[in-house]
Amino acid sequence: MSRRTVMVLAVTCAVAVGNIYFPQAIVPLIASGLHTSVASASMVVTATQIGYTAGIFLLVPLGDRLPYRPFLVTLLVLCGLSLLAAGCAPTLPVLVAAGLLVGATTVAAQIIAPLAAALAADDRRGAVMGTLLSGSTGGMLLARTFSGTLGEWLGWRAPYLGAGLLALALAAVLARTVPATTAPSRAPYPALLAEPLRLLRTEPQLRRSCVYQASVFAGFSAVWTCLALLLTGPSYGLGGQAVGLLAQAGAATMLCTPLAGRLVDRKGPDPVNLVCLLGVLLSAVVLTAGAGGGVTGLAALTLGTLLLDIAMQSGMLANQSRVFALRPDARGRLNTAYMTCAYLGGSAGSWLGVSVHGRAGWWGVCVLLALLTAVPLTFHLTARRPARSGAGMRLPREGAC
C-alpha cells in the first residue's frame, strides 16, 4: 500500500469520525436557528451516535462479505447525501432523522481498519494502523473547531453542508485510490450479524473490555455534549467556536496514544487500563473547577478535557489490544461487538449528560463522569484475571492444541 493511499485512508477516517462529533459544538446554534430548546436540539447529537452504533452493528459486518472499494464509496456517498439533507432540514424532527442516517453511514473508519490490515505489509502494519488512528483522533478534535467556527460565521447549516460536500469528494477519490479486493468471506449476512452476539456470550475478556469502554465513553460524551451548554451559558457567555478551540488542547492525544501503544506491548493492557481509569477520575475532579467561570475555570476545563481525552483514547487502545488478541481470525466481528457497546454507552452518556445538566448543572455532569468511571474501576480492582505470560497473550481454550 502506497503512502498516498495510506494518507487518503487516514483523511477518510478523520472525516468519518468527525461527522459524529461536530454537532456537539453547534447544539446552541441549532436550538436558536430552529427555535427550540437546547435540550431538544441536543437530541441531534444523541441521534447521530445512535445511528453510528446501528451502523457498526448492521453495516460493518458487511465488510467481511463485500469488496472494500465499492462498499466504502457507497457508504461515503450515502453519508454525504445524508449530511446535505441535514443541512437543509426545515424542522428539528427532520434534522434528527437525518442525523440518524449520518451516523449509520459514517462508519467508514471501522471498514478501513481491516482493509488496511489486509493490504499493508507485515513490517508496516503497525505504522499504517498508527497513522489511521492519528487520523481518527485528529478528525474528532478538528471537527468541533470546524463546526463551531463555521457555525458562528454562517449558521448551523454550514457545517453540515460543508461536511456533506467533503464526503462526496472523498468518495470520488477513494473510487480511484483504493485497490480492488475480493470479499474475504462468503458467510451469509444473518450469520455475520449473529457472530458478534455469540462472541459477547462466549468471550469474557471481550465483555470486560466492552464494559470499560462503554462506561468511560458515556462519561466522555456527557462532558463534551454539555461543554457547549456551559461555555455558551451565563458562566462564560462565549460563542460556539469556543468549544472547538478548547478541543484543540486535545491534540496532545495524537502524541500520547503511540506511547500508550508501546506500553501495552510491554506491560499488557491491564496496567494501562488502570492508569487510564484513574486519569478519568482525576479529570472529573479537575473539571468541577470549570463551573466557576473566569480564567481559572477556563484553565480547569482545558486541563480537564485534555486529561479526559488522553485517558479515554489510551484506554480504548488498551481495550482493543485485549480484544484483538482473543481471536485473530475474527477481529472484524470482535471489533463490531466492541464498538457497538462503546457507542451505545456514548449515546446513553449524551442523553444522561443533558438530563443531569438540566437538573444539577456542570457539577452534576462531573459527578456523573466520576460515577460512570467508578463502575469499571471497581470491576478492574476486584476481578480475577488469568495470569499474563506476555503482552496481548491469552490462555488457550480448553481442548485447544
CATH number (domain holding residue 257): 1.20.1250.20
Note whether 163 and 29 are same-domain residues.
yes
pLDDT number for residue 390 = 40
| pLDDT given at position 10 | 87
What per-residue confidence (pLDDT) applies to 97? 95
Q: Are residues 279 and 302 in the same domain?
A: yes
Rounded to whole angstroms, how far apart are CA atoms 225 and 47?
A: 13
Q: What is the pLDDT of residue 80?
A: 95
Identify whether residues 146 and 210 lie together within a single domain: no
Burial of residue 381 (CB within 10 Å: 0-12, 13-18, 19+) is exposed
Q: Is residue 76 part of a domain?
A: yes
Top pLDDT among 298 and 233 is at: 298
- Residue 394 lies inside a defined structural domain of this protein: no
| Domain extent for 36 | 1-179
Q: What is the pLDDT of residues 315-365, one digit of tens each?
A: 887 887 788 778 766 777 888 888 889 888 988 998 899 899 989 999 999
Note whether residue 51 is domain-resident.
Answer: yes
Structural domain contains residue 148:
yes
Give yes or no: residues 153 and 202 share one domain. Answer: no
Instruction: Tell me: pLDDT of 399 over 50.
Output: no
- pLDDT single digits (tens) 147-182: 888 888 888 999 999 999 999 999 999 998 888 777
In tens, the pLDDT along 369-389 reads 999 999 999 989 987 655 443
Give yes or no for residue 285 having a pLDDT over 80.
Answer: yes
Question: For residue 113, which of 124, 105, 125 has the smallest C-alpha distance?
Answer: 125
Closest C-alpha to 143, from 13, 314, 36, 297? 13
What would the grid cell of residue 225 be?
A: 455534549
Examine the fold and report which residue of 156, 179, 202 is the final residue of a domain before the chain moves on. Answer: 179
Greatest mean pLDDT among 33-47, 276-290, 374-388 lies in 276-290
Whether residues 19 and 116 fall in one domain: yes
The b-or-e profile of 183-204 (16+ CB within 10 A means b, else e) is ebeebeeeebbebbeebbeebe
User: How many structural domains comprise the chain?
Assistant: 2
Same domain, 173 and 192: no
Let me know: does 381 contact 271? Beta carbons within 8 Å.
Answer: no
Q: Based on the domain organization, do 240 and 100 belong to the same domain?
A: no
Establish if 131 belongs to a structural domain. yes
Give the residue among 399, 135, 117, 379 at the shortest CA–CA distance from 253.
135
- % of the chain surpassing 90 pLDDT: 36
- String of DSSP letters for 290-345: GGG-HHHHHHHHHHHHHHHHHHHHHHHHHHHHHHHTT-GGGHHHHHHHHHHHHHHH
Could you tell me the sign of the dihedral formed by the alpha carbons of 135, 140, 142, 147, in that order?
A: positive
Q: State the amino acid at position 275 in one-letter form.
A: V
Kindly state whether residues 25 and 52 are assigned to the same domain.
Answer: yes
Round to whole Å and give the CA distance between 80 and 98.
11
Band (pLDDT 50/70/90 cuts) for residue 12 is very high
Looking at the structure, tell me whether residues 261 and 312 fall in a common domain: yes
Confidence of residue 250 (pLDDT cuts 50, 70, 90): low
One domain for residues 169 and 236: no
Domain limit, last residue, from 155, 179, 203: 179
Give me 72's grid cell.
Answer: 466504502
Residue 399 lies inside a defined structural domain of this protein: no
Q: Clarify whether residues 94 and 122 are in a common domain.
A: yes
Among residues 213, 260, 266, 270, the alpha carbon closest in space to that of 387 is found at 270
Q: Please state the rounded mean pLDDT for residues 40-53.
A: 88
Report pTM: 0.73
Together in a domain, 91 and 208: no
Residue where the block lists cell 436558536 = 32
* pLDDT score at 62: 85
Q: Is residue 258 part of a domain?
A: yes
Q: Tell me if 121 is assigned to some domain.
A: yes
Domain final position from 112, 145, 179: 179
Check whether 129 has a pLDDT greater than 70: no
